[in-house]
Structure 1
Amino acid sequence: MNQVRRFFKYIRDYSKYVDFSLLIAYIVLCLIGLVMIYSASMIGGPRGMLSGAGAVSSTYFYKRQLFSIILSFGIVFFMTYFMHINIIKNKRVQQGSIFAVLVLLVLTMLFGIEVNGSKSWLPTGIMMIQPSEFLKIVTIIYLAYIYDKKKNLNQMSVDLVSPIILIGFCSGLVLLQPDFGSTMLVFMIVICILMYSGIAFGTMVKTAGALVGVACLAFLYSFVTNGSLLTPHQVARFEVLKNPFKDESGIGYHLSNSLMAIGNGGLFGRGLGNGIMKLGYLPEPHTDFIFAVIAEELGLVGVILIIALLFFIVYKGFLYAALATSMFYRLICIGAASYIGIQAFINLGGVVGLIPLTGVPLPFLSYGGSSMLSLSIAIGLLLMASKHVKQEAENNRR
C-alpha cells in the first residue's frame, strides 16, 4: 500500500513539469482518428474494398488501431514520467538505434512486402512494421546527440558530415523501396535540425549537399536498375496535378475523388458516418485519405479543429526549442516538431492537390501501427525535453 502511495505522490509531484496542453492535444487527435478510422472502414472492410486485408469485420481496423493507441499511450506515459532524457545521450543507445534501423531497412529490401507500389513493409510474425517510420525518430535523436557534442560547428569536417552521410545512406535504402515521401520527410527533418544547430550558413549548405549527393547516388542506382529515375506510379502522381478531373477514372481517380469528398462536406459536414465517397469511391479512406473523410463528415469545422490541434503541437515544439538553453533539448524539440508539422503538410498538401500524393499518413489520424508508434515517440521526446526546459527555467529563477 505504501508503494502505491509513493507512486501516486511521485506522479503528482512530477506532473508540475508536464505540459498537459500538449498531452491533451495529442490524445484528442488520437481519439478523433480512432473514431474516423472506424467510420471510414466499417463498410469497406466487410466488403473487402480496403487494401491489404481482404474481407474483414467492420471493427477490424478500429480494433487494431485501438491496440496501437493504447500501446502508444503507454509509451508516452513511460517516457514522460519514468524515462530520463539522458538515456538518449548514451553512446551505446545511439549505436544500437542506428544499427537496428539499418538492419530493419536491409531486411525490408530483402524480405519486405509490397503495398501500393512500395516495398516498405516487413512482416514480423506478430504485426507488419514499416522501418522507415522509425528512421525518422532515429534521425532526430542521432543528429541531436552528435551536434550537441560538437563544439565547433562552423567548419566543414568529417565529424560534421559523417552523420549526414549515414542518415543519407539509410534514406537511400528507403528511396529504393521506393518511398519518395518518407525520404523527402527525413531530408527536411535534417535541414530543420541543421538550421537550428548553430552551423554557419555556408557550412550548412555544404553539409546539406552531402545528403543531396547520397540521394543522387540512390537516384542513379534506381535509373541503372529500373531504366528511369521515377517509377511510372510516381510519374503519374506529378502529372495528375495539372488537372485531376481530366482522367477521373485513370490517373486522376485518387485526387479527384478526394477533392469531391472535401467539397461535399461544406461547413458542418454530412454527419459522422454519413460520408458517401468512402463507399468504394475514395481509395484508402482509412489511411492516406482520412482527411477527406473527416472533411466530408465533419465539414470545415472539423477540418479547422484538426489543423488547429496539429498546429498547436508544432507551435509548442518550436516554443520549447526557443526557450531551451541546451543544444540537445533544442534540437530534440525542433526535430520532433518538424517531423509532425512537415508530415502533416505533405499529407494535407497531397490530399488537396497542392503537391503530389506520396502515401505519407496524416499524423495521429491515419490508420497504421508503425506511424502511430513513431509519432507517439516524437510526442514523448517533446514532453521529455519540455519537462527539462521547465526545470531549467525554475532553477534559474532561484
Structure 2
Amino acid sequence: MMALSRADTSVLGRWWWTVDRWTLAALMTLVGFGYVMLLAASPGVAERIGASSRDMFILKQVFFLALASGVMITISLLPVKQVRRLALLGFFGALLMTAATLSMGVEIKGARRWINLPGMTLQPSEFLKPCFAVVAAWLLAEARSSGWRATAAACFLFLLVAGVLAKQPDMGMLVVVGSVFCAQLFVAGINMFIVAGCGVAGILSGIAAYFVLPHFQSRIDRFLNPESGDTYQVTIAMEAFGHGGLLGVGPGEGRLKALLPDAHADFVFAVAGEEFGLAICLLILAVFGFIVLRGLLRLLGEKDMFIILGATGLLTQFGLQAFINMASALHLIPTKGMTLPFISYGGSSVVAVALGMGMLLAMTRRRLMRTDGE
C-alpha cells in the first residue's frame, strides 16, 4: 500500500507505523460498502421524491464519504493531547448548536434536530456524541487524582446533554449517549451502586418517555403489537431480507427497495439483504464486530486511563449505533431512525462517525511514538 520505511521520521511515516492498520482497513471497507449501497439504494429514492437528478444523493454522499475519509485520517495523525482539546472544543460547539435547534431548528416528524445551512442540513447532536465520549473520559480519568469533583463535572455534563436531547426529543440518541457514559463509569471503577443507580434512572426515564412522548409510545406499541399501528417500513424490510435469501437477487435488481421511503438511510441494511443476500449482511456484521473487538483488544496492557475510557466510549458508541440500525431493520427492537455508520446516507452522520473513529485511531496508536506531550 504505502512504501514508507520504518526509519521515516516524518509525521506520515510515524503515523503509518504506529496506527492500527487493521482497524483502518476495516473502516475503509465500510466506506466502500457505503459507496456500493448508495449506488443500489439512492436512485430509486431520488426518483420517488421527484428529484431533478437520479444521481443527486450519490453525488452528495460521494462528497461526504471522501470528506469523512479525509477527516478520519487527518485526526488520526494528531497527538493525544490535541485530540482531547479538539473534543473539548467540539463538545461545547456541538452542545450550543444542539441547544439552538430547540428554537431555530427544522422540525421533521415532530422533532427539532436539524439546522439549515446553505446547501445542506446539519444535525449537531451527531457531533456531540463522540466529543462527549472523549470529554467524559478525560474527566473520569482526572477523578483518580482530583477526586469526586471531576466525576461530578462529568455527571453534570451528561445531564446537560441528556436534557437537550430529551427536549428535541431524540430518545435514541439519548440511549446511545447514556449507554456510553454508563460503560465508561463501569470501566473507571466507579462504585457499582452508582452505576446501578444510573441504570435504574435510565429505565425509569424510558418508562416516563413512554407515557409522555406519543411517538415514542407508538413505536413501542407497534413493536409489541404490529396490528396496533403502521408497520409498513418494517414489513417491507423483512420481505426484502426474505426475497434476497442467501446470495441476493443481484446488484440493482432489488424491487422492494423502491417501496421503502428510507431505503438509502435507516433501512439500507434491508437493501443489502435483498440485493446481496445473507452472506453480505453477515460480512457487514463481521466487519463491525471486528472493529469493536479489535479496538478493545488494543487496549489490553494500556496504562493511560484516559485512553482506555475514551476508546471504550467511542467503541461502545460505534457498535451500539450499528446494532440499533441493523436490529431495527430486522424487527428485533422498536424502529429508530439511526444511521448505519459509513453505510447509510447522511452527511452529518458519516462525518461525525469519521470524527469519532479518527480520535479512536489517534488514541490507540502505539505508545512507542507518544512523545512530546502525546
User: Shared fold by TM > 0.5?
Assistant: yes
Cα 1:389–1:191 shift into 2, 3 Å = farther
Q: Quick one: distance in 2 between partners of 1:107 and 1:219?
A: 27
- In the TM superposition, what are the counterparts of 1:312-391 in structure 2 within 5 Å? 312-389=290-367, 391=369
Note if contact 1:144-1:331 (Cα within 8 Å) is conserved in structure 2.
yes
User: Does the C-alpha gap of structure 1 residues 329 and 158 become closer, same or farther in structure 2, counting only changes over 3 Å?
Assistant: closer
Return the alpha-carbon distance in structure 1 between the equivalents of residues 190 and 367 of structure 2: 22
Kindly provide the CA deviation profile for residues 158-189 of structure 1, in whole angstroms up to 9, marking residues without a partner as x.
Answer: 43223222222222211221211111111111
Per mean C-alpha deviation after superposition, the further-off stretch among 342-351 and 117-126 is 117-126
Number of residues paired by the alignment?
365
- Confirm or deny that 1:85 pairs with 2:80: yes
User: What are the ranges of 5 or more consecutive residues in structure 1 without an aligned counterpart?
Assistant: 49-53, 393-398
Tell me, in whole angstroms, the C-alpha distance in 2 between the residues paired with 1:19 and 1:336: 15
Shift of residue 88, structure 1, vs aligned partner: 3.3
1:59 is matched with which residue?
Answer: 55
Return closer, same or farther for 1:339/1:95 CA change in 2, 3 Å cut-off: closer
Change beyond 3 A, Cα 1:124–1:194: same
| Alpha carbons 1:80, 1:383 under 8 Å: kept | yes
Q: 1:174 to 1:10 in 2, by over 3 A?
A: closer
Is residue 2:13 matched to residue 1:12? yes
1:356-398, Cα deviation, whole Å (9 max, x unpaired): 1110111111101111111111211121111144657xxxxxx
1:101 aligns with 2:101: no
CA displacement 1:39-88 (0-9 Å, x = unmatched): 1111220231xxxxx5241211111111111111111121222x111123
With over 3 angstroms needed to count, the CA separation of the structure-2 counterparts of 1:9 and 1:162, relative to structure 1, is: closer
Q: Secondary structure at the match of 1:202?
A: helix
The AA in structure 2 aligned to 1:195 is F
Task: Report Cα offsets for 1:246-273 as digits up to 9, x if no partner.
Answer: 47xx511121111111111101001011
Deviations 1:2-35 (A, max 9, x none): xxx9999542343111211111111111111122
Which secondary structure state, in structure 1, belongs to the residue aligned with residue 212 of structure 2?
coil
Q: 2: distance between equivalents of 1:197 and 1:299?
A: 41
CA distance in 2, matches of 1:381, 1:133: 15
Root-mean-square deviation (CA, aligned residues, Å) is: 2.7
Given that 1:105 and 1:132 are in contact with CA atoms closer than 8 Å, whether structure 2 keeps it comes out as yes
Contact 1:164 1:210 in 2 (8 A): no
In structure 1, the residue matched to 2:43 is: 42
* Aligned residue identity for 1:88: V
Residue 239, structure 1, aligned to residue 221, structure 2 = yes
Residue 122 of structure 1 aligns to a residue in which SS? Answer: strand
* Residue pair 1:137, 1:377 contacting (<8 A) in 2 also: yes
Instruction: Return the letter of the residue paired with 2:219.
Output: R
Where 1:45 maps in the other structure, the secondary structure is helix
| Alpha-carbon spacing, 1:351–1:70, altered in 2? closer, same or farther (3 Å) | same
CA deviation digits over 1:263-293, x for unaligned, max 9? 11101001011111111x2220000000000
Aligned to 1:284: 262
Distance between the aligned counterparts of 2:89 and 2:145, measured in 1? 26
Extract unaligned runs of 5+ from structure 2: none
* Distance (whole Å) between structure 2 residues aligned to residue 271 and residue 211 of structure 1: 47
2:166 aligns with one of 172, 175, 180: 175
Q: Quick one: which amino acid aligns to residue 100 of structure 2?
A: L
Partner of 1:189: 180
Cα distance in 2 for partners of 1:391, 1:11 equals 12
Identity of aligned residues (%): 30
